[in-house]
Amino acid sequence: AVGVLDDAEYVQDTVQMAAGDILVLYTDGVTEAENAHQEMFDVEPLKKVILASRTLPSKDIIQEILNAVRTFSKEQPQSDDITLMVIRSV
Protein backbone atom coordinates (compact mmCIF):
# COMPACT_ATOMS: atom_id res chain seq x y z
CA ALA A 1 0.00 0.00 0.00
CA VAL A 2 1.63 3.20 -1.16
CA GLY A 3 1.81 5.89 1.48
CA VAL A 4 1.01 3.70 4.49
CA LEU A 5 4.48 3.83 6.04
CA ASP A 6 5.70 7.26 7.12
CA ASP A 7 9.37 6.41 6.59
CA ALA A 8 9.03 4.64 3.23
CA GLU A 9 11.24 5.95 0.46
CA TYR A 10 9.94 6.15 -3.09
CA VAL A 11 11.68 6.94 -6.33
CA GLN A 12 10.19 8.19 -9.54
CA ASP A 13 11.27 6.81 -12.89
CA THR A 14 10.01 6.59 -16.44
CA VAL A 15 9.73 3.42 -18.46
CA GLN A 16 8.99 3.55 -22.15
CA MET A 17 6.44 0.92 -23.19
CA ALA A 18 6.33 -0.28 -26.76
CA ALA A 19 3.12 -1.21 -28.55
CA GLY A 20 1.87 -4.53 -27.20
CA ASP A 21 3.81 -4.34 -23.93
CA ILE A 22 1.90 -5.43 -20.83
CA LEU A 23 2.30 -4.09 -17.32
CA VAL A 24 0.83 -6.28 -14.58
CA LEU A 25 0.45 -4.76 -11.12
CA TYR A 26 -0.58 -7.10 -8.32
CA THR A 27 -0.70 -7.37 -4.56
CA ASP A 28 1.04 -10.10 -2.61
CA GLY A 29 -2.29 -11.88 -2.21
CA VAL A 30 -1.67 -13.27 -5.70
CA THR A 31 1.83 -14.68 -5.20
CA GLU A 32 1.29 -15.65 -1.56
CA ALA A 33 -1.94 -17.60 -2.16
CA GLU A 34 -1.44 -21.02 -0.56
CA ASN A 35 -2.55 -24.53 -1.39
CA ALA A 36 -3.35 -27.34 1.09
CA HIS A 37 0.40 -28.08 1.45
CA GLN A 38 1.07 -24.45 2.45
CA GLU A 39 2.99 -23.86 -0.79
CA MET A 40 2.69 -20.39 -2.28
CA PHE A 41 1.56 -19.63 -5.82
CA ASP A 42 4.73 -17.51 -6.25
CA VAL A 43 6.08 -15.36 -9.09
CA GLU A 44 7.13 -18.05 -11.60
CA PRO A 45 3.62 -19.49 -12.06
CA LEU A 46 2.33 -15.92 -12.35
CA LYS A 47 4.82 -15.20 -15.13
CA LYS A 48 3.74 -18.38 -16.95
CA VAL A 49 0.08 -17.35 -16.84
CA ILE A 50 0.90 -13.85 -18.09
CA LEU A 51 3.02 -15.20 -20.96
CA ALA A 52 0.39 -17.78 -21.92
CA SER A 53 -2.38 -15.17 -21.99
CA ARG A 54 -0.40 -12.19 -23.36
CA THR A 55 -2.46 -11.98 -26.57
CA LEU A 56 -5.74 -11.66 -24.67
CA PRO A 57 -7.42 -8.39 -23.71
CA SER A 58 -6.39 -7.00 -20.31
CA LYS A 59 -9.60 -8.07 -18.55
CA ASP A 60 -9.12 -11.63 -19.79
CA ILE A 61 -5.50 -11.72 -18.56
CA ILE A 62 -6.81 -10.75 -15.12
CA GLN A 63 -9.37 -13.56 -15.30
CA GLU A 64 -6.70 -16.07 -16.33
CA ILE A 65 -4.53 -15.07 -13.37
CA LEU A 66 -7.47 -15.35 -10.96
CA ASN A 67 -8.40 -18.75 -12.40
CA ALA A 68 -4.82 -20.00 -12.00
CA VAL A 69 -4.68 -18.82 -8.37
CA ARG A 70 -8.04 -20.45 -7.59
CA THR A 71 -7.00 -23.71 -9.28
CA PHE A 72 -3.73 -23.72 -7.33
CA SER A 73 -5.38 -22.91 -3.99
CA LYS A 74 -8.34 -25.24 -4.50
CA GLU A 75 -10.40 -25.17 -1.31
CA GLN A 76 -7.93 -23.18 0.77
CA PRO A 77 -9.40 -19.89 1.99
CA GLN A 78 -7.79 -16.75 0.64
CA SER A 79 -5.82 -15.19 3.50
CA ASP A 80 -5.02 -11.86 1.83
CA ASP A 81 -6.61 -9.49 -0.63
CA ILE A 82 -6.01 -9.94 -4.34
CA THR A 83 -5.74 -6.81 -6.42
CA LEU A 84 -4.74 -6.88 -10.09
CA MET A 85 -4.31 -4.23 -12.75
CA VAL A 86 -3.23 -5.02 -16.31
CA ILE A 87 -2.19 -2.20 -18.62
CA ARG A 88 -1.54 -2.86 -22.29
CA SER A 89 0.34 -0.36 -24.43
CA VAL A 90 -1.16 0.31 -27.86
- Please tell me whether the overall predicted TM-score, pTM, comes out greater than 0.85 for this model: yes
Task: Answer yes or no: is pLDDT of 1 > 70.
Answer: no
| Rounded Cα gap, residues 19 and 47, in angstroms | 19
Separation of first and last alpha carbons in the chain: 28
Task: For 25-71, write each residue's pLDDT tens digit.
Answer: 999 999 999 999 999 999 999 999 999 999 999 999 999 999 999 99
Amino acid 69: pLDDT? 97
**From CA 27, how far away is CA 83, in angstroms rounded?**
5
Q: Residue 90 has what pLDDT? A: 87
